[in-house]
Structure formats: structure tokens, C-alpha cells
Structure 1
Amino acid sequence: MVASMEPTRAEIIRGVPVHCALRGCGQAMRGKQRGLYKFSRATADIDEFWSHSWHTSAWMKFFTAWYLNCGVIAAAFGMVGAAPGCILHAVGALPATVDNSFCKSQWSVLIGVTFYCLSFMFWRVRKLVFLDFLCINQEDEGLKAEAMLSIGAILKSSASMRFWCVFELASFLRSRLKEEHLSIRPNLMGPVLLIGKAGLMVLLVAWPHLLQVFAGSDEIMGSTLSLSAGLLPCFLCLVYVGRRFCCSLDTLQQQLGKFQVNDAKCYCFTVNHVDDKTGERILCDRDIMMKCIGIWFGSATDFEHLVRGHVRTTLLRELTNPFICTGKSSWPLVL
């Protein structure tokens, strides 16, 4: 049933708006918010599949999903807000806010930053995503079982995928064998870009005032000192996050280079195939996964070669691409 990639019934394929999945700073991703199943609805097309992996930082997933879904809209609102501020100051409707030779007014910066932050905080992205904690009824064992049997169909109905695990990656690859592009986005991308944006906004707001602090120096020296004082904290944060990203990239490419399906972690093994609530024996997830991979790819070995070759090569190409945030792709994944 799983390998057929067909749902038990059409209503089992469900999606939830992004703003519901991200509410409460991603509490659903951390398993701390219940009762949101009512916000999901049956659908034939899911915009993004969000895997719920307990081995990945929920905060990293939240910030990356938040940025990828709201960043462009926030930037657009920021530009729209900055333009009137600049125009109104130019025609004399708004007074000068600072007095130095480099900058006479910060209205465009202040209004633009305000619009950017408000839209980032309150814009409600309505595209549908699948997040198991929200789209699978956690209170009904029958519906949970149907959803697990239909996981292949859910992935097949998804236009893109984020935060994958081995079995879901296998399903997604199988449903898109004719696709030519695999685009990968790191979990650290959200925090890195958010820190960079925050640092830039702080610098833009503080720069004229820093210039006044260094007014005793000549203009060029004062400008250099103020720029350095504003950039240094942000630069140190970015260096720290960048180092973490490089270390995780090296670890990940090594893991994919020696990837084996048998190394995948399964919940059933952690509880010795016994339900800790009822004491009854539970099915082995690994057996189901191995049988499906055999049907889809011929053998686990063929799937491992695909991951070690195509996926690993594409990962290295994508994660070392300077245009990672703007590249187009057919099916983006976030690690």
C-alpha cells in the first residue's frame, strides 16, 4: 500500500496554511502545541512537505521556513515603505532627522525597516504545507495509521519538500524520477540571513549617529570608524554561524559519501518493537522502508548509490553556490 503511492482515501491528504504551522514561534515543530488539526483541510495539491524529524533543531527549521516563506514579501513591503519616506523628505513634507554631510534624513530607512519587520511578523502566508503533527490527527489511531499508509501519496502530491529523512527522501525521489534538478537549502540559511538582515538594519539606523560620535575626526576617518563600529558585532555573529555551517557541510557530505540505509535510525528499534503504552508488539519501520525502497529502486544498494552520487554531488554544488538564496529549482529540499 505504501509503495503504490496511493492514498487510502482522498481526504487523508491534508495541508495546513504556513502561518498556522509557524504560529507560536514554531511550537508545532517542537511538539508543544496541540489542537491545530482543525486548521488542516483535505487537498489534492500540497505546496511544501515538511518532515517532522526529532533529530534536527526545531528552531533552525522554524527560522529557515519563516525566512523562505516571508522574506520576499517583507523585502517588498520594506521597499514600498521606504519610497514614500524618501519622496516626502525630498519635497519638504518631513523634516531632517540628522545633520551631517553624509545623511540629512533617515525617514526612508526608519519607515522601510518598520514595514519590513511588521510584514515579517504579521504577514499570513496561506500556501498549504504538510506537517505531520498538524495534518495527522494525533488523537485518532485509525487516522494516524491511514496517514502512515498514505505517506507516499502525500509526498507525491507535494510540489516541494523540506527537512527530509531517509524514507521520505526515497518516496520523493521515486515520485519525481523524470525531474532534472535537485535544489538543497541548509537549515542554517534562515538564521544566517536573518542575522545578516538584522545587522544591516541596525547599521543603517545607527550610522548617522555614529558619524556624529566620531565628528572630531575628519569625515573619511569618521565614516570608516562608524562603519567599523556598526559592522563588527554583526560580522562576529556571521563568522560564528558561518563556521558552524562549514563544519556541518563537511560532516554531511562525509555522511552521504558512506550512506547506508541500514544506518538509518528508526523509532521502533529505540523501544525494542514494543509499544510503551500498551505493551503490544509494533511493526518494524525498517522492514517497511526496505521493502518500499526495493520496489521503487530495485534494491537498497541502488538507492544508496543514488544518494552517494546524485544527491551528494548536487548537495555540494548547491551549498557552495554563492547564489543559493536566489537559485531556481524544480524541487527544493532543506537539510
Structure 2
Amino acid sequence: MKKRVILGVVAGVLALTSIGFGKKENIEVNVLGTTDLHGIVSKDLEKYVNEQRKKDENLILVDSGDFFDMQTPEMNSWFKKNSVIVEENGFPILRFKDGEIEGVAPIVTNMGKLKYDAVILGNHEFVSNNKSRLDTLINDFKDNNMEILSANTYKSNNENYTKPYIIKNINTKYGDLKIGILGLTIKEVGESKEWDGEKLVPTKSRELKDQDGYEGKLYMNDLVEDAKKWVPKMKKDGADIIISVVHSGEEPKKPKNPGNKIKELARETSDIDVIFAGHTHKTIDENKYTNKDGKEVIVTQGGKHSEAIAHSKLQLEKVKDGWKVIEKSSEVISFK
């Protein structure tokens, strides 16, 4: 009789475990990332983002910078309307006129329609504007409910020029999930050029502090060193997972241009789960690296000019002290 009672109790515990206590509390997080749009938001990009939003109302959309350019008739027309021709080093160049700018740049409106959560400053945003014009551009993005980030860009008084990061709260049936998005920008925003007898050729890279229109106003720190500073603050601020969105390629293209530091960022930091890269116009489905704590970091990059988008998926499990990433992957969706 006692044996039957014990067996009955054990069976009851097993039944409860299979029904509730042993069930994994897992969710999926989808993050889409564009980069190097250079003024172009294609119909294919719009369609894909809108389709994914229907599947996941908590979808996150980010951009890794170099969104501002004249490569569409719409942007070209707007820029020329607000510009004058000036002479630099003996050559005529278009520059923004002084005073009021007429209308908001079309790229701001077009990106606003897609509801980007975070947009990172790329080098092109600096070289295509001066400090005053860039201030206005950033405010235009805010007015369209998009946050511009660059954690390693500072004012002359050592304050951050933009927000370094945001934390997005997602309500799930297992409790709130906090996703930290950290923005970083390549330190070398421009190039010095000289006339070789036929054309202007780059001679050396130029940091923001030396860029025309920004001297004495803005400067940048090394993006890897600043990531080491900001990530712990994001964790203290409650971030369960961290996505770094970076205007930088994976590794230096040449010795005089050491600013591409994605590999170093992945390997020399802690607590970054996914990195969305940019700047080099490449597509990267998924490159895997091991961080300083022996954990996996994946790197992905969505090409250029709205021709593709990176789609990262993270499987998360609810644990006692927050959330744990149990699986992550990424692929690039090409529209060509």
C-alpha cells in the first residue's frame, strides 16, 4: 500500500512538471539592420520591414550610419535648393547656405515612415554637413520619433554630443525584457586630398577634431575603448541584452586607416550579443567571434543603398535574474 502511495505522489509531481514547472519560458527577438543607405530607401526595403512588423509587433529596426547623401533625385533636388557653390583648395564645391534650410531632408521623412528605433551617425553625416547643419538634422530625426546615437562623439566640454545608447522595453508574457542599443562611429570621418595632376586623391585619414566645420566643437574617442565604458553602464541601467550598432568595418583596410574595428570590438569587450556593422558597403550574413569572457558574439552587415537588410534572431529564455540568450543567428536578405 505504501509503495502505491509513493508511486502515486511521484507520478503527480511528474505530471505537474510536464504541465507547468518544467516548461521553458522562451521568446524570440527580431532585429533588422540597414546601413549606408546614402539617401536611398527602396520600395523593397519598405515592403520587407512592413511585412516583418506584421509578424512581430516588437520588431527592432536600426541603421548603422551614412544615411545622408544625394544619391536620389529627391535628395539631390533638396540639397541643391539649400546650397551654394564655394571654393575649397581651388575647386568649386557645393556647401549648405547660411541661414534657414527649406524643408526637412527627404531621407529623414522616408526613414521615419519605417519607424527606426535607432540611427547611428556615420562619417558621411559629418563630411556632408557642418556642426550647425548636423544639429538641425539630428533634431529633425527626433521630431520624427527616431533617436540618433553615437556614444564616442563628444562636444568640446566633454559632454556626449548625442545619446550614447537607448534601452527599449518589451512587454512579454513572462515579464519585461530590456534591450540595450549602443551606437558607435568610426573615429576617422574624412580624408585629406591632394591634386595629382589629374584628380583629387586621398593622402591620409582625418579625425573629426580636424574636419572642416568641427574643429574645437566636436571630437571622437576610440570606439572600442568607449564601448568598454558604456556597456557596463547599460547593464547597470537594466539592459538584459545588448546590441551594438556601429559605423565601422570589420578590420583596417590599410595601415593609414585603422578605424575599422568591429573584430576588435567583438573580441575585446563583454556583454555585447550582436553587432550590426557598416561603412564598407559589404554584406555579412553572420561572422562569429569569441569575446573576452569566452562568449559568442555575432556580426552582421546589411550591404548598401537599400539593396539588402540584415535580419538577426535571438532566442531568449527567462531566468531568475533576467533573460538568457540561448541561441542567435543572422542572415542578409537581398533585394537585388
**TM-score, normalised on structure 1?**
0.26
Higher relative contact order (CA 8 A, sep 6+): 1
Q: Which structure has the larger Rg over C-alpha atoms?
A: 1
Give TM-score, length-normalised by structure 2.
Answer: 0.26
